[in-house]
Amino acid sequence: MCFEEINDSLELVFRYSWTSSDTYGFIRECELINLSKNQVDIDILDGLQNILPAGTPQAIQASASNLVDAYKWSEIDKASGIALFTIYSGITDKPEPFASMRANTVFCLGFEPSKTLLSSQQINDFYLRKPLHNQTHTRGARGAYLVNSTFKLAAKTDKTWQFVCDVEKSKYDILSLHKTLSESQNMRELINQSIRDDSNELRRIISTMDGFQLTNEELVSTHHYANVLFNGMRGGIFDKQYWIPTKDFTASVRHFNRPVYQAHEAFLNGLVKQLKFPELLKLIKQQNDANLTRLCYEFLPITFGRRHGDPSRPWNDFCIKLKDDNGKRLLNYQGNWRDIFQNWEALLFSYPEFIESVIAKFVNASTIDGYNPYRISQTGIDWETEDPKDPWSHIGYWGDHQIIYLLKLLELSNNFHPNKIRQLLHEPIFCYANVPYRIKSHKDLLNNPKDTIEYDYQVAQKIEQGVQKLGADAKLLLNEAGEVYLVNLSEKLLVPLLAKLSNFVLGGGIWLNTQRPEWNDANNALAGQGLSMVTLYYLRRYVCFLKTLFKDQNSISLSKEVALWLDNVITQFQPNRSTQFQTMSAQERFDHLEKLACCAYEYRKEVYQQGFSGVTDYNIKTINTFLSNTLSAINHSIDANKRTDGLYHAYNLMDSNQDSIQINHLQLMLEGQVAILSSGGVGPEQAIDMLNTLFDSNLYRSDQQSFMLYPDNELPNFLTKNRISPEQITNVPKLEQLLEQSGHALLICDVDGYWHFNADLINHEALVARLNALETDYGSAVTKLKQPINALYEMAFNHKKFTGRSGGMFGFEGLGSIYWHMVAKLLLAVQEIYFNALDTNCNQATCHHLGQLYYRVRQGIGFNKTPTQYGAFPTDPYSHTPKHTGAQQPGMTGQVKEEVLTRFGELGIRICHAKVHFQPNLLRIGEFTNTPKVFNYLDILGNERCLTMPSNAIAFTWIGLPILYVLSNTNTEASLNIHWRNQKDEVLTDLILSEEISCKIFMRSDEIAQITLKLNANLLFDE
Amino acid sequence: MCFEEINDSLELVFRYSWTSSDTYGFIRECELINLSKNQVDIDILDGLQNILPAGTPQAIQASASNLVDAYKWSEIDKASGIALFTIYSGITDKPEPFASMRANTVFCLGFEPSKTLLSSQQINDFYLRKPLHNQTHTRGARGAYLVNSTFKLAAKTDKTWQFVCDVEKSKYDILSLHKTLSESQNMRELINQSIRDDSNELRRIISTMDGFQLTNEELVSTHHYANVLFNGMRGGIFDKQYWIPTKDFTASVRHFNRPVYQAHEAFLNGLVKQLKFPELLKLIKQQNDANLTRLCYEFLPITFGRRHGDPSRPWNDFCIKLKDDNGKRLLNYQGNWRDIFQNWEALLFSYPEFIESVIAKFVNASTIDGYNPYRISQTGIDWETEDPKDPWSHIGYWGDHQIIYLLKLLELSNNFHPNKIRQLLHEPIFCYANVPYRIKSHKDLLNNPKDTIEYDYQVAQKIEQGVQKLGADAKLLLNEAGEVYLVNLSEKLLVPLLAKLSNFVLGGGIWLNTQRPEWNDANNALAGQGLSMVTLYYLRRYVCFLKTLFKDQNSISLSKEVALWLDNVITQFQPNRSTQFQTMSAQERFDHLEKLACCAYEYRKEVYQQGFSGVTDYNIKTINTFLSNTLSAINHSIDANKRTDGLYHAYNLMDSNQDSIQINHLQLMLEGQVAILSSGGVGPEQAIDMLNTLFDSNLYRSDQQSFMLYPDNELPNFLTKNRISPEQITNVPKLEQLLEQSGHALLICDVDGYWHFNADLINHEALVARLNALETDYGSAVTKLKQPINALYEMAFNHKKFTGRSGGMFGFEGLGSIYWHMVAKLLLAVQEIYFNALDTNCNQATCHHLGQLYYRVRQGIGFNKTPTQYGAFPTDPYSHTPKHTGAQQPGMTGQVKEEVLTRFGELGIRICHAKVHFQPNLLRIGEFTNTPKVFNYLDILGNERCLTMPSNAIAFTWIGLPILYVLSNTNTEASLNIHWRNQKDEVLTDLILSEEISCKIFMRSDEIAQITLKLNANLLFDE
């Protein structure tokens, strides 16, 4: 909504509504109010300009809009009065017909226009008070829809009208709309009803993700609503909770694997129309086909997600596809692999029965060499290919998120279903993605760590052919019989660990050598020379988790080649080696990496060529010892990366010679602190020190009370960059002579006698190419100077330390920017440490101090700010806040996922060993209402409900279940009331639900009508 | 220049200047004038907004400008005060450094700013009279340069200031500029001098193309100046007239052919610094290396041309590259093959000694199968490749222009150098381009005439490798020894003729079957089913010309395979066959084409695989007989395409079955009339009738007094397109049943009971795909209905007649548009017919009538109009005038070439048999000045000259020679005065120069100082 004051007596109010129904797109309502005591004569021209026609090709519009204009055809349909914006013919340069059969449409309700204009031509005439001419048809001109009307507006009255706009309507749609328009008695009411219907549908969607809460702090619950909404729009929602339309599942089996489909055709087509996922899985398992079971686990009935990923990448146009071409409801999701799982994590907190499905989707997409593809969608995986014409195109593995996002899912499963995940460790129902990238040998990697992956066109072609025949499963590793090669979850968890460990530079971190950066994009150029401590911090937590997971197992089954790789890695982490780690020389570090990397290459070479040769049993004790040894090696490296101020390095640079590796630290970064705080390696007291240091550091932006990714360093200005003193030149023998001969090709001397490299020499590669070219003209004079000139260049540009966006960009993840997802990750990390302190019975002062720091971090987040301070709608989450302007990119932030989780943490919902714990120690008393209220929500069946709340209460839903917290006076004992739908209420005095009751909640069984927690102030967080 | 009145007492004048010198880009000067009698207090904010930084990648700016913003860094250099607009780091997604070392610069001269702003942020504050804050540095924001100044402007005075802007400046440039700024006493005068210098340089350039004329009609000479300017900017100019810098030539030899270069290295490097082309050629010929001679002929010392072609194609960004990276003057041209030759044709009229060089460039780029590549440039030829990601990309041969543009060049040569061209008929110094397109067999072509060319990736790869080794000549057909295969001009002229004749559909025209249209783009979808009468009309003129050319020759040498192909084609045009042509049935037409096409395919198959197997002598008499027979076949077809109104069909549609070809005529088109009028087949009387009919036809737009390409037909509106009655559905047995089953997949019934094809079914291909998909679900019910549904579709859309832009576009060549190049072609055609009538001693009334029609066509051209009527600067040529707005795209029109030629025709300069004729019969008396004037021009040596003109005179230059026409009274005999530079004037009474004198002029020998033509009114055109 937006207001505009025209003058003292007139005011305009605009309201925009969007609908997702069939008939209308968006509605712009305008209300003109006469505030004065006199009647006013109005002559108004209102509408929309530059309306694009249906079928406008985006790329051509961006690059050649004038060409698109020439195809434009706008008309007002005489019969209906609807304005149609079309291209008369499809835009193509091929000699083939291309009928254009859709129109964008606009019509107006609410006043009788005296004139209607289809272009902006006459706007100036209106300003000049010249007479206007009706325009019902234009060709080759930009479309507009402007109506001119004159009327008298009585004193203290108003007038409202609406523009109803929609896109890509077929003739059928338009004729149907015409019919509705002509038959309807009250079109405006019909539209308002449609808006209401869609609002209700949105309420239903939000309710399925537990978006409704009612507390005394409206901003908090509104912010939660927004987080839930955007989380759903990023990753999608489960369409009908746990229900799976069997027709969709069957189609999915057919899509992925035709032989499997054919083998079970009768069974699949005989299934009832819909089944809850656990029931479906049970039936499927009875078929005794591991591949069918795999496909069932992987099937996610998700809808509503926009195509998910960084919009600066060309593929990532938003697209929320809810219906198929026939208008039928559609299950659909697609997203960047590294983005979509985060939102599912938050969603799973309301749908725990799908946790293992998402884990399956995750690990089934990981490759034999331990990485992950670029994109996933309902139809399978996808990877980047190179387009030589597009400077933005590139291939490689984004090694980031992998460990921590997988781990978070595993931890969820371990909390909700500790038995289930342990069972999966042994079930061979998982697979490998076969991305046709081939990582080169360790020698090649060292030689050029930025050019490490070959695209195997032959494999790619084979896969493409296979997809035609077998189905999308042809993108997976197949065995010799052409079937999908299956392994258990243990192997799928070990391979990424081995891949990371094989790039472990002791004391430095995990070497980024797959041509793509770790998250975050700030350091997008670190690939090659970068070492990630961030990944190592997360790896620490992963190793600890695996120790817990494998503890009580016996042997596990592994592919032979994986077992061999594991053996080799184990050798490198023997305790006798590990003691050396502290005193390790650069040479020993080089050797250690070489040994690890060569084992990995041996493994890769083997499996790239031959695949796997069978399975073997592996002793779990060996693994557990290995995990312990690894943990101690990791801990040594972590210690070595502690800064003198108590904070930790996030990334390092690797400086490798023929036989040694030196480690150079980069600057302070927020990501490193988040990762170490999440690693499990930092105790409560240390965490408090670190957080206090952080608030005093140059990462803190006091204007936004929050943290940047790295300090906003002052940069040299344009004319002081790339400046070389005359002495630096004369110090190099014979250089002056060459520069005299070679003109401006290499260096140019300015009017002040300083030298500058030629502006074409954008990097070392360009310099080398130029030197080689000069060599043909000037021979050995150049050859001898190559090394010193390269050294001069590096001195001038310091390109070895080039980290990417963090060095030369000022929006997004750039200099001065706050990247809100990282702040939210910090928030979650502090909350984890807080609960960890509670769980370990830490002293109260420490816990309280941590709680205070939690709220201090939270204080920086938008919803606590004024619109002026935030520069945007405070309750909405945004991607980033650059130094020079307000928050940017609403909803496009992983912040939403972290904050959905922290919010339930604030409310004290914790799950442990399959039981629900109510532990609201972080909840503030101020959130309790001070008057009776009514909490409106939708129940699991989708019915609108209202819950009458007393004073001093909080209400919310979780897994669709309404939960009421009521604050009693401090003397009353806390109690949990289970309101059964068909039996008497049950009162529990410890705040933990039994495994049985917890399971009913997880399963959305609807047997429980409500849970009421009566508690006293002692349990809450005392600010 | 542009004026703006601020209020009654203040006026602002803006002046823009561009310079091409090293230091400055463009200057925006602003003059503020106080017209009142009182002093005025001024508070002004002036400048430029949204200044892009240097190094902005065009594609990313177009598609993701917000991302580019994040990289922006703007600063004011404190020392110099120059504003620098840069990206702080190069924009890439690859993990590699990319230093950004250039800046766009702005500075202001002329007032002391009180505040300077680098962004638009504070503009509103200025409006609101809030205080402004100096802004000397911004990051991540769009750049601006705004200066705020307050001053008093005395009554009746003015104040002037300047913004000096430049792009892509290096640090060296900026520091040098700073030095100039700080040392200069009077910077503004320095700038003004720079502008004057550049204006003079432009005068020099225009003078080298004979752009200066002085007549009584200033608009005519200004229009000529503009035509010459834009002709030069399209095709380029000869840099130093006939002079060739031998270093450039040597570099060119090395670029094209390394072995040839190596063989003549010493000779080439020993050449003097520059030589006139004829001298160079003489020296080269003495080396006795045909390939060296070929490369010398082909070498064009051209500069100043913008990259030439339709800007709607992605490749065609304008780019006038005058200097290389080291700032040295550069020879450079590049353009679409079909565009650049036209401008060279006009240029050659001032540089006749290069005619044969351009012919060489033309024919050396034509392929063994008789077509031409897409682009040519100084570095060789280039062809389109397919990019599956780009809907605009496609391959194929643009078969257009080829015959007529080549012919125009040949005719020029025949007029200027009749002996030279005849000599070349026998010299084996020409070659074939080896474009890796492979035209399929006739059967395949018939089967799918829109998919006729295969891209031979193997050949393409081989060529690419060859270029690395041999040089750019590897793109030519090589013999077995790996050398360029050479043939004579005769063969190069016959192969395109044979290619066209092999696609000759008798009675219909030349079949367009190479996936690309003929000119003009209006019918860009005709490829496949289209037959071009236009090409046939031009072919008629070509055949007549070849008859003249070959007349007195003996035998000629031809490649054996070409000779065989010629033999086969000859058989098909025997006179006994030709008599059948009039009564030919559809079946006979099919057979005739099949025989021709199969011969061509046999030839192609052979030479694609093996190349040529040697040469053979061919009897010239056989060829001459063949040409005569062909001419009569062409004439029959032309007669068959005469419309009842006396005009001619331009394009036809070919409707071919298994064994017959039907011809369907398309609508009236201007291009057809231009072509037939140029064909030589229309006599003066018939031409008069045709032109009168044209003026009465629906091609004529009276508002612009000129002709559209085709009638501006009324089109059905959106809702009446694609509409099928219920009866049409019920008439097809079992269709209703299928439609009920298949939902909206095929057809949809609207609320009124009418049916519409689904909006996704954009063409027959889409329909076929949908039907095939439905077939899997509904089986034979669909199979049986395929044919009737296709027929219904064709009934609804009439896609067979789809011609492309002419059917659904409203700018450029679209509906209602006047395409000025075509009008200018008509003008030239009428002038040719006029002179032809004179030459053939036609009666005076007819000649006069033709002259009147010539001027009636000319009357429609912009320079005769007011700015309001033309909607643009009238003296400038523009591409097109859509129905709904003024003329569009200044300078981007082939009109300039036609009008340069017609202008010299109006002045009566004609060349015949190597002699210059003065024949000003079309010149109007009104063009003669009525007072004495001074004609300023530059002589051949580049010196400014002035020629004092008496009353009643016209002055102009041609080939750099000043020519003065003086009108005497009617009784005086006409005479030609040759003013020799070093000998006495010579007076001739017939108006023809001897071959010897003509040759001196052609050679720019500078021995003649001036020519004066004294003439009387009888010789002129009497309006």
Strands A888-890, A909-912: pairing kind: unpaired
Nearest-CA distance from B530 to chain A in Å? 10
The count of C-alpha atoms lying within 13 angstroms of the C-alpha of B609, restricted to the half-sphere facing its C-beta, is 7
CB B521 within 8 A of CB B804: yes
Min Cα separation A805/chain B (Å): 8
Res. B20: pLDDT tops 70: no
Task: State which residue of chain B sits closest to A141, comparing Cα positions.
Answer: B884
**pLDDT value at position B446?**
95
CA atoms of B198 and B847, how far apart (whole Å): 45
Residue A271, CA distances (Å) to A283, A1005, B935 in order: 9, 22, 96
* Mean pLDDT, residues B584-599 taken together: 94
- In percent, the amount of chain A with pLDDT more than 70 equals 96
Q: What is the mean pLDDT of residues A544-571?
A: 96
- Decide if A170 and B748 are in contact by the 8 Å CB cutoff: yes
Q: What is the spatial distance between Cα A966 and Cα A956, in angstroms, rounded to a whole number?
A: 12
Chain B residues closer than 8 Å to A810 by CB = 70-73, 88, 139-140
Q: What is the pLDDT of residue A582?
A: 67
Q: Of A906, A907, A964, give the one whose Cα is nearest residue A934.
A: A964
Beta bridge partners of A143: A51
Closest CA to A992 of A1004, A968, A974, A1007: A974
Closest CA to B956 of B109, B206, B60: B206
List b or e across A467-486, with b for residues whose CB sees 16 or more CB atoms inside 10 angstroms: eeebbbbbbbbbeeeebbbb
CA distance B344 to B800: 38
- Alpha-carbon distance A816 to nearest alpha carbon in chain B (angstroms): 10
The backbone torsions φ and ψ at residue A178, rounded to the nearest 5 degrees and listed phi first, read -55, -45
**pLDDT tens digits, A542-556:** 999 999 999 989 899
A-chain residues near B103 (CB < 8 A): 718
pLDDT in tens, A592-629: 999 999 999 999 999 999 999 999 999 999 999 999 99
Q: What is the mean pLDDT of residues B861-873?
A: 96
pLDDT winner (highest mean) among A94-98, B775-779, B938-942: B938-942
One DSSP character per residue, A829-860 reads HHHHHHHHHHHTT--HHHHHHHHHHHHHHHHT
Contact B97 A764 (CB under 8 A): yes
Q: Are the beta carbons of A750 and B171 separated by less than 8 Å?
A: yes
**DSSP labels for A900-936?**
HHHHHHHTTEEEETTEEEE--TT-BGGGS-SS-EEEE
What is the band of A818 on the pLDDT scale with cuts at 50, 70, 90? Answer: very high
Note the pLDDT of residue B558: 98
> Chain B: nearest CA to A120, how far in angstroms?
13
Average pLDDT over residues B968-996: 93
Q: Note the pLDDT of residue B313.
A: 61
Which positions 880-899 of B are in contact with A (Cβ < 8 Å)? 882-885
Residue whose token pair is 């890509």:
A168
Closest listed residue to residue A844, CA positions, set A963, A1021, A710, A970: A1021
Give the model's pLDDT for residue A323. 82
Contact between A560 and A612 (Cβ < 8 Å): yes
Q: Which of B137, B171, B450 sits opposite A96 (nearest CB)?
A: B450
Percent of chain B past pLDDT 90, that is, above it, reads 80
Say if CB A616 and CB A560 are below 8 A apart: yes
- Lowest-confidence region among A835-849, B510-524, B694-708: B510-524
Does A808 sit within 8 Å of B88, measured CB to CB?
yes
Assess whether pLDDT exceeds 80 at residue B189: yes
pLDDT at B316: 64
At B311 the pLDDT is: 59
Q: What is the mean pLDDT of chain B?
A: 93
Put simply, the answer to whether A718 touches B171 (Cβ < 8 Å) is yes
Q: What is the pLDDT of residue A213?
A: 98
pLDDT confidence tier of residue B310, bands split at 50, 70 and 90: low
List strand residue ranges (DSSP E) for A766-907, in order: 818-819, 878-881, 888-890
Both structure tokens of A567: 């053996």
Span B601-624, mean pLDDT? 96
Judging contacts by C-beta atoms under 8 Å, the chain B residues touching residue A374 are: none
Q: Flag whether pLDDT at A631 surpasses 70.
A: yes
Instruction: Return mean pLDDT, chain A.
Output: 93
* Cβ neighbours of B723 in A, within 8 Å: 171
pLDDT of residue A310: 66
First to last CA, chain B: 36
Q: How far is A749 from chain B (nearest CA, A)?
A: 7
Geometric angle at alpha carbon B474, from B472 and B476, rounded to 5°: 100
Tell me the pLDDT tens digit for each residue of B334-383: 888 878 899 999 999 999 999 999 999 999 999 999 999 988 999 999 99
> What number is the average pLDDT over the span B144-160?
95
Two tokens, residue A963? 């939960």
Nearest-Cα residue of chain B relative to residue A80: B719
Residue B800 has pLDDT above 90, yes or no: no
State the pLDDT at residue B995: 97
With pLDDT > 90 as the criterion, what percentage of chain A qualifies? 80
Q: pLDDT tens across A572-595, in order?
A: 998 776 556 667 899 999 999 999
**How many helices (DSSP H) and strands (DSSP E) are in chain B?**
35, 44
Q: What is the mean pLDDT of residues B931-941?
A: 96
What pLDDT is attached to residue B188?
Answer: 86
Helices B670-678, B533-550: axis angle to 10 degrees equals 10
Q: What is the pLDDT of residue A96?
A: 84
Query: Biggest alpha carbon distance in chain A?
Result: 98
Residue type, A926: G
Query: Quick one: average pLDDT of B584-609?
Result: 95
Name the range with the highest mean pLDDT among A148-162, A740-754, B396-410.
A148-162
Does the pLDDT value for residue B836 go beyond 60?
A: yes
Contact status, residue B827 vs residue B691, Cβ threshold 8 Å: no
Cross-chain Cβ contact B87/A715 below 8 Å: no
Residue B692, phi then psi, degrees to nearest 5: -60, -45
The torsion defined by the Cα of A860, A864, A866 and A867, in degrees rounded to 10, comes to 80
Cross-chain residue pair B140–A810, CB shorter than 8 Å: yes
Taking 60 as the threshold, does the pLDDT of residue B24 lie above it? no
Residues of A in contact with B99 (CB under 8 A): 721-722, 761-763, 797, 799
SS3 of B381-409: the string is EECCCCCCCCCCCCCCECCCCHHHHHHHH
Closest CA to B596 of B615, B572, B578, B579: B572
- Specify the DSSP class assigned to residue A307: P
Measured between CB atoms, does A925 come within 8 Å of chain B? no
Res B314 pLDDT > 70: no
DSSP state of A107: E
> For residue A577, what pLDDT is reported?
63
* Predicted confidence (pLDDT) at residue A1 exceeds the cutoff of 60: no
Return all residues near A481 (Cβ < 8 A) that are at least 6 apart. Answer: none
- Lowest mean pLDDT, pick from B6-20, B45-59, B823-837: B6-20
Give yes or no for residue A309 having a pLDDT over 70.
no
Residue A20 φ/ψ, nearest 5 degrees = -110, 10
Strand, helix or coil for residue A805:
helix
Of chain B residues 97-116, which have a CB less than 8 A from chain A?
97-103
Q: Which of residues 741-770 of B touch A (CB under 8 A)?
A: 743-745, 748, 750-752, 756-765
Partner residue opposite A814 with nearest CB, options B140, B526, B756: B140
Nearest to A25 by CA among A33, A16, A34: A16
Q: Averaged over A729-751, what is the pLDDT? A: 91
Q: At what angle do helices B670-678 and B684-696 cross, to 10 degrees?
A: 170
The edge-to-edge listing of strands for the beta sheet with B961-968 is: B213-214, B953-958, B961-968, B1008-1016, B975-980, B986-988
Task: Please check the confidence at residue B439 and state whether its pLDDT lies above 70.
Answer: yes
What pLDDT digit, counting tens, does each position of B891-922 carry? 889 999 999 999 999 999 999 999 999 999 99
What local confidence, expressed as pLDDT, does residue B945 receive? 96
B578 pLDDT band, cuts 50/70/90, is low
| CA–CA gap between residue A151 and residue A234 (Å, rounded) | 46
* Cα distance between residue A150 and residue B749, in whole Å: 40
CA B846 centroid distance within chain = 34
- Provide the pLDDT confidence category of residue A523 given band limits of 50, 70 and 90: confident
Q: Which band of pLDDT confidence, cut at 50, 70 and 90, is reported for residue B512?
A: very high
* pTM, two decimal places: 0.89
Say if residue B2's pLDDT is above 60: no
**What pLDDT does A871 receive?**
96
* pLDDT (0 to 100) of residue B17: 85
Average pLDDT over residues B301-329: 75
Nearest to B722 among A101, A103, A717 (CB): A101
Top pLDDT among A219 and B329 is at: A219
Q: What is the pLDDT of residue B919?
A: 97
Which tens digit of pLDDT belongs to each residue from B645-694? 999 999 999 999 889 999 999 999 999 999 999 999 999 999 999 999 99
Of B73, B95, B327, the CB nearest to A515: B95
Backbone angles phi, psi at A192, to 5 degrees: -60, -40
Contacts of residue A538, Cβ cutoff 8 Å, sequence gap at least 6: A403, A404, A407, A675, A678, A679
Q: Please check whether residue A235 is in contact with residue A344, taking contact to mean a CB–CB distance below 8 angstroms.
A: yes
- Three-state secondary structure string covering A234-303: HHCEECCCCEEEHHHHHHHHHHHCHHHHHHCHHHHHCCCCEEEHHHHHHHHHCCCCHHHHHHHHHCCCEE
**Residue B388's Cα: distance from chain center in Å?**
27
What pLDDT, on the 0 to 100 scale, is given for residue B848? 97
Question: What count of other Cβ atoms lies within 10 Å of the Cβ of residue B619?
Answer: 11
Q: How many CA atoms lie within 13 A of A99 on its CB side?
A: 27
CA neighbours closer than 13 Å in the CB half-sphere of residue B429: 25
Mean pLDDT along residues A965-992: 93
Task: Give the end-to-end CA distance of chain A in Å, rounded to a whole number.
Answer: 36
Q: One-letter amino acid identity for A44?
A: I
C-alpha distance from A141 to closest chain B C-alpha (Å): 8
Cβ count within 10 A of residue A419 = 10
A646 touching B (Cβ < 8 Å) = no
Do the strands B213-214 and B953-958 form a parallel or antiparallel pair, or are they unpaired?
antiparallel
Query: How distant is the Cα of B402 from the closest Cα of chain A, in angstroms?
Result: 20
Tens of pLDDT, residues A358-416: 999 999 999 999 999 988 999 999 998 877 666 667 889 987 688 999 999 999 999 99
Residue B285 CA to chain centroid, in angstroms? 33
A384 φ, ψ (degrees, to nearest 5): -80, 140
